[in-house]
Each structure stands twice: as structure tokens, then as C-alpha cells.
Amino acid sequence: MKLRMPRLLALACALLAVHAASWALGLEDWVGMLSGTPEPGVPLSVAALGASVHVLSWFGAVVVAPILIIAAGLLEAATAVGRGSETKSV
Amino acid sequence: MNRFIRTSVALALASLLWIPVVHTLFEGDGDEDGRARTRDSLMQRQLALFDDAASREAELERMRGANAEWDFMGRTFTVLALANHALDEPADRARALDVMDTLIEETLRLEQERGQAHFMMDYVHEGVFVDASGRSIFVDGEVALMLAARQRVSVAEHWQAPLARRTQLIAEQMERGPMVSAESYPDECWTFCNTVALAALRVNDAVTGDDHAPLLRAWVANAKENLVDPTTGLLVSSFRADGTHLDGPEGSSIFLAAHMLELVDPAFARDQYERARRELGVSVAGFGYAREWPDSWEGPTDIDSGPIVPVVEASAGASGMALLGAAAFHDQAWLTELHTSLAFAAFPVEREDGLRFAASNQVGDAVLLYSLTQGPLFDRVGPPPYQTVAFGGPS
């Protein structure tokens, strides 16, 4: 039997991985851009990009990824219920 | 049902399930115990920064690169937080006073060597002050408040003359102004700075027995008549020396102004806070934040507002000051929501030397720390009627 991760779950994992990578790269220190104090020695455009990546990846990991995981669970449950009713009708 | 519709329905249901409970992940930092932990850890970091000259210098330079005012305001809010801490924790009083003294001495030295403009934005050079003194109430008011707060904790003889001189300068300049207000920048009076100056006079009076009550009453009476936005009833943020309104009500200004006015006219202060909460405060799904402008007014995104999040209009500057307002006026429900937002979106970084918020900077952390230490200093000044409060205990 071939195990296949649902797409929504795979996307959630990707979002979590992006944020983990952002955190590991130290982009958290760059979000000072939000208060108008960019990281010293980093060109403004690069700092803004880094800050945006970290902020968006954080929201992706905390808000979007759990929604994807829950949705994947709901779809799996709906599929299982569908299969159950088909089996009964047969 | 085709796959697209099934997936869309599943995503919608999942959103309905998840979004209302996201705040629970961060709520632990928003309750009373969480706020106490944040306060202690922030205090540790601010003191550690003070001990580490290189880190402090780097942080100040980083802020000065964006706005020289923040260097100065970071000092003010740190001193105010330390005053509260010193009054609240007698065991730490000597250390707190030592740091307060060093910060004030350094600030006064820099002011003397480089002028008030050292702590101001460059446009101070682009005009001429209407008042002949050419002084900024932004600098004088906050210096006076630092000195008065320090003296309220424990009177030091060597600060008596500097405090007396500064309060005299403030009072004379405000009395000369047609709006009973002084300029922060050339022909630009800021409500933020003038209310800080009024609070400084009140703290000074509690320490020295001086009486600035007539000036304080005159300021409030004039403000109610000339400095209030007619649509919202909120104090405008800035105005010309002759009273012409410049910026309308702003979240980055009004919450602090309301807090300072607690020492001047508590009923007016509460009215301003409640209006600001209604016009600018937002509570959604367990999170809280503040907008920079009410619906009836829109100003430019600037150094005070900080970045504005599109659509929801959350302002970093306004939300930071809202923490102070909510703490000062004991708005516990919103305070919890604001702290929950802080834990969620300000990127707290806890290290060995304490807590900082990566999305913030030293002045932002100092404002937050001051909001978390709220109470002891203002309690020891007491509300009007204006009376000298005996040293050593609350009124």
C-alpha cells in the first residue's frame, strides 16, 4: 500500500518548514523593521524582505497551517464517512 | 460534490474552528501573571542593557538612525519605569536610583553639549520658534518629568536646582502661549509633550510644595474649548501656537496624553481615554489593538504611527501607547487582549539577559515596561485637589 500525504497537509508542513527555516536563519532579528528600526548593516530593501518573510511565515505557521491541518482532517473524515455509507448500501 | 467545493467547505469550516481559538495560544502572556513575568523580564533586559555599554550604544544608534526622539524618549520611559519599580520594590531602590541618576546626568550632559536638537528630528532646524525662548517643550517637559519622578522617589539635593529651573522654564513658556501651551517644534505644539509637561509640574508640586494649579486649570479649560476635535471630542495631536489644528486625534498620542492628564484633571482624563478606546480601540477574536486615527480622520503614516497593517488598520505606535492607556485606566479586558496581541505579533525574544520584543526597539520596550509598572509614582502624587503629599508614602 502506498502512503500519500493529503495536499493540504503537505502545504501545512511546507508552511511550518518555511518558518522554521526563517527562524533558523535569524530573520527574527530583522522584524525590527516593524518599528522603523531595521537591522544595522543590512540594506533597507533586504531588511524589509527578510522581515516580511519572517512575519508572513509566522502567520502562515500559526494561523494558516493549523487551518490546513484541520481541513485535511475534515476531508479525511468526510471521505471515511462516505466510504462507510457506500459499503452499507452495497 | 466536486473536490474543489469539498475542499473550500473544509477550509471554511476549519477557519471557523481555528481562528476564534488562536488567541488561547498566547493568552498566558496576557493575564496578570503573564504580565508580571513580562515586566520582570523586561526590567532585567533594560538594566542589562544599561550595564552593557556597547549593546546600549548600538541600540541607541539604531534608533537614532530612524528618529533621534526615540533615544530621548527611551530615557524618559526607562526613568519613569524605574521610579515605579523603586517605589514598589524598596530592596531595589538604590540600584534603580543609581540608574535613574546616570540616565538623567547623561541626558543633561548631551543636551548641554549638543543642544536640545540632539534629541529632535532634523526639521527643528527648518523654522523659528514663535516663543522667544526658542526652547522645546518636548525636551523640557520630559527632562522635568524625569527629574520630578526621581525626586518623588527620594529627594536628592543636587537635583533640586535643575528641577526648579526646568519647571520655571516650562511654566513661563506655557503661560506665554495663547493656547496655554508651548512649542515642541517651531510653531508646532504637541498635546503629547504639553500633557507630559503638565504632569511634570504636578509631580514637582508634590515634591516641592510649589503650586501650579492655576496654570493646570487654565490649560484644561483652554484645551476643552480650543484643542478638541469637534467630531470625536478627542484632543487633537498637534496645533500651531495660535491654536490652529494640525494633526487630528492620533492613537500614538492620545493614550499617553490621557494618562498624563490623570494628574491634572482625572475626569477629563478618563473621558479622553474612554473616547479613545471607543474611537480607536479594536477587540477581535481575543486580540486587541489600536488604530492611529478615528473613522472621521485620516492622517499620513509617519514615524509616530509606525507601519499600519492594511485593512484592519492596526498601528504599532498606537497599540504600544494603548497598552499604557489600558493599564493606567485599569481596562483589564482590553489590557489582556493587547498583551495577547503583543505575544502573538511583536516577536518576544527571551534570552539570558531578559526579554525584548524583536518587532520593537528600546523605546518601545521602555514604554511597555512603564505600562507594566504603572501606579506607584502617580499614586504618590495623588489626584487634584492639589495638595503637597508628604514624602515617603502614598497619599
ipTM (interface pTM)? 0.87
A79: in domain: no
Is it the case that residue B30 has pLDDT exceeding 90? no
- pLDDT of the residue at B304: 67
pLDDT digits (tens, 9 = 90+) for B344-370: 999 999 999 999 999 999 999 999 999
- pLDDT of the residue at B384: 63
pLDDT, mean of residues B242-257: 96
Grid cell digits, residue B251: 492613537
Is it the case that residue B220 has pLDDT exceeding 70? yes
Q: What does R_g of chain A's alpha carbons equal in angstroms?
A: 20
Nearest CA in chain B to A28: B358
- CB pair distance less than 8 Å for B14 and A29: no
Nearest CA in chain A to B13: A71
A90: in domain: no
Sorted by where each begins, the domain ranges of chain B are 46-379
Structural domains counted in chain A: 1
The rounded mean pLDDT for chain B is 92
A35 — contact with chain B (CB < 8 Å)? yes
Residue A19's alpha-carbon distances to A26, A51, A58, B23, B24, in angstroms, are 11, 12, 6, 19, 20
A51: in domain: no
Q: Mention every residue, 6+ apart, whose C-beta is less than 8 A from residue B107.
A: B72, B75, B143, B146
A28 — contact with chain B (CB < 8 Å)? yes
- CB pair distance less than 8 Å for A36 and B307: yes
Give B349's strand partners: B356
Domain span including residue A38: 11-42
A72: in domain: no
B22 — contact with chain A (CB < 8 Å)? yes
pLDDT, mean of residues B153-158: 95
Q: Mention every residue, 6+ apart, whose C-beta is less than 8 A from residue B173.
A: B131, B133, B135, B137, B140, B182
- CB pair distance less than 8 Å for B61 and A40: yes
- pLDDT of the residue at B157: 95
A81: in domain: no
Q: CA torsion angle for B235, B241, B242, B245 (degrees, to 10)? A: -40
- CB pair distance less than 8 Å for A29 and B360: no
pTM (predicted TM-score)? 0.91
Would you tell me which residues 61-80 of chain A have a C-beta closer than 8 angstroms to some C-beta of chain B?
62-63, 66-72, 74-75, 78
Q: Cell 525574544, residue?
A: B349
Confidence bin at B392 (pLDDT 50/70/90): very low
A36: in domain: yes
Confidence bin at B394 (pLDDT 50/70/90): very low
pLDDT digits (tens, 9 = 90+) for B371-384: 999 999 999 997 66
Confidence bin at B12 (pLDDT 50/70/90): very high
Q: What are the chain A neighbours of B15 within 8 Å (beta carbons)?
A: 67
- CB pair distance less than 8 Å for B15 and A58: no
**In the CATH hierarchy, which fold is given to the domain comprising B46-379?**
Glycosyltransferase (1.50.10)
As a whole number of angstroms, the distance between CA B364 and CA A77 comes to 47
- pLDDT of the residue at B390: 43
Residue B262, classified by CB atoms within 10 Å of its CB into exposed (0-12), middle (13-18) or buried (19+), is buried
Any idea which of A18-27, B29-38, B174-183 has the lowest mean pLDDT?
A: B29-38
A29: in domain: yes
Nearest CA in chain B to A70: B14
- pLDDT of the residue at B227: 97
As a whole number of angstroms, the distance between CA B91 and CA B253 comes to 34
Residue B362, classified by CB atoms within 10 Å of its CB into exposed (0-12), middle (13-18) or buried (19+), is buried
Mean pLDDT by 10 residues, chain A (90 residues): 75 97 93 84 87 95 97 91 68
- pLDDT of the residue at A3: 55
Is it the case that residue B4 has pLDDT exceeding 90? no
Any idea which of B15-24, B125-134, B156-165, B305-314 has the lowest mean pLDDT?
A: B305-314
Q: What are the chain B neighbours of A62 within 8 Å (beta carbons)?
A: 22, 25, 344
Is it the case that residue B388 has pLDDT exceeding 60? no
A59: in domain: no
Residue B232's alpha-carbon distances to A50, B29, B61, B189, B353, in angstroms, are 39, 33, 38, 20, 44
Partner residue opposite B358 with nearest CB, options A28, A67, A69 = A28
- pLDDT of the residue at B347: 94
Q: What are the chain B neighbours of A61 within 8 Å (beta carbons)?
A: none
